[in-house]
Amino acid sequence: MSDQDTGETREVTINYYDGTSRAAEIVDREVPYPDGKLIVSRTDPNGIITHANQAFVDMSGYTREELIGTNHYILRHPDMPAVAFAGLWETIEAGKKWHGYVKNLRKDGAYYWVKATVIPNIRNGKLVGYTSVRRKPSRSKIKESEELYATLM
């Protein structure tokens, strides 16, 4: 759990890049990343989730049915700067692999940190979607990312 956790709850409106928004209750409580697991999801080229493994379901707090067909940005935590995701999309749309540290928002308002890698899925030369694999980050990388992202908000 992060030293900064207060357990406090706040109401936040999260604005997404496509102009939509939602009201979310944010709880300042970290859920530890489980040892030895990978969170795996796939999306279509527009970021709509098409596959979610059990670790993703467990950590996000959503059911698989809730995740499939939803935009991946449902996980976006308001503490994550928009510029981080702009860099992600710029990289993967150029056909390259992206990786970075991400604070994800759970359905219950708590959060979890991941080291995420996203790659484009190319079939017969055509982009059919993206695969994202998340793994356990170190505490030092989380601390560095918290400090960096705070300056980018």
Partner 1 sequence: MAYNLTVSPDFAPDHISGWYFFNTWLQRQLEVGVHLELYDCFEQQRKDIRSDKVDMIYANPYDASMLVRELGFKAVARPKARPDETVIAVHADSPYNTVEELPEGITVATTDDPDVHTMGMIMLEPADLDKSNITTKEVDSYVVVAKNLLNENAQVGFFLKDGFDELSDLIKRQMKVLVSSQISVVHHVLLVGPKMQEFIPTLQERLFSMHQDEKGQGVLSSMDLDQWEPMTEEETEFMIDLIDTLVLE
**Which element (helix H / strand E) includes 88?**
helix 82-93
Give the contacts of 103 (CB within 8 A, at least 6 positions apart).
77, 79, 80, 111, 112, 113, 145, 146, 149
- For the bound state, the minimum distance from the C-beta of residue 55 to partner 1, rounded and expressed in Å, comes to 8
- For the bound state, the minimum distance from the C-beta of residue 21 to partner 1, rounded and expressed in Å, comes to 30
Contact pattern from residue 96 through residue 135 relative to partner 1, giving x for each residue in contact according to CB under 8 A and a dash for the rest: -x-x---------------x-xxx-x-x-------xxx-x
Using CB under 8 A, which of the segments 10-18, 85-93, 101-109, 139-147 binds partner 1?
139-147
- Rounded to the nearest 10 degrees, the angle between the axes of helix 139-152 and helix 82-93 is 100
Alpha-carbon span 42 to 40, nearest angstrom: 7
From 53, 70, 71, 91, residue interacting with partner 1 (rule: CB under 8 A): 53
Beta-strand runs (E) in 7-142: 9-15, 21-27, 39-43, 49-52, 98-105, 111-123, 126-135
For partner 1, give the closer residue by CB, 71 or 117: 117
Helix (H, G, I), strand (E, B) or coil at 87: helix
* Segment 60 to 99, residues that bind partner 1, using CB under 8 A: 97, 99
For partner 1, give the closer residue by CB, 20 or 54: 54
Binding site for partner 1 (CB under 8 A): 35-38, 40, 42, 51, 53, 55, 97, 99, 115, 117-119, 121, 123, 131-133, 135-141
